[in-house]
Amino acid sequence: HIYVPLSAALLRVKRSVDASEIDRIILAVNEADQVKPTAEVAVGIFARRHFGVNDVEISIPEEKLELQQEARSLMNVVLIVMAAIALLVGGIGIMNIMLATVTERTREIGIRRAVGATQADIGKQFLAEAVGISFVGGLIGIGLGFLLGWLISSWANWASAELSMVGTIVGFVVAVFVGLVFGIYPAWTAAMQDPITALRHE
């Protein structure tokens, strides 16, 4: 496509230009606040020249931008809700895994208490394991997210997916924090085990 001002086209094109051959007119303004008033003036001009027939479509970039921003905001809300649900489910999963681990390792807890480990030592051990699970899960999630974004962009022929460093760090920190929060109760449960009862556990 070649875009030239209409006045230049009328002056420089050798043959006469029929109005029916013009399929679009692009108007540019110097100030952003003049976009809508200019569009209203253009609508009035076309309405008069076309005897009131509404056969011209006025496209205002500002309106398209607003629609895009609204759609993007809605998509962000949906993604945040989905991420929150995923984190909640993941946190509950970590807690259940750690509670099962405490039950399976009750005798180990009793032995450690018998050789001098304190309740704080036991609690820290299981809390560190919960954080470790979320740490590894966060790394795997980042890798899978980047891979999935690359596959989708390649399949849809979009621009290459870019990994946001800030978003990656925030997501990773949140994932580890979720593991820390949901690992507190299993760690407390392990720390409160009675040493004698734990040693008798089969």
pLDDT value for 7: 67
**Together in a domain, 26 and 76:** no
For residue 64, what are its two tokens?
């398209």
Do 37 and 83 fall into the same domain? no
Same domain, 34 and 99: no
Judge if 78 and 140 occupy the same domain. yes
Answer yes or no: is 1 within a domain. no
Burial code (b: 16+ CB inside 10 Å, e: under 16) for 159-174 equals: eebeeeeeeeeebbee
Residue 155 lies in a domain: yes
Our count of domains for the chain comes to 2
- In this prediction, residue 165 carries a pLDDT of 82
Using CA atoms, how far apart are residues 88 and 178, in angstroms rounded to an integer?
A: 8
Residue 91's domain comprises 67-200
Residues 44 and 75 in one domain: no
The one-digit pLDDT tens for each residue of the chain (202 residues) are 566 666 676 666 555 555 556 677 777 777 767 777 887 787 787 777 766 666 677 777 766 767 777 888 898 889 889 988 988 999 999 999 999 999 999 999 999 999 989 999 999 999 999 999 999 998 998 888 888 878 877 787 766 666 678 878 888 899 899 999 999 999 999 999 988 888 887 6
Do 117 and 173 fall within a single domain? yes
Q: Is residue 55 part of a domain?
A: no
Residues 89 and 189 reside in one and the same domain:
yes
How far apart (Å, rounded) are the C-alpha atoms in residues 190 and 121?
10
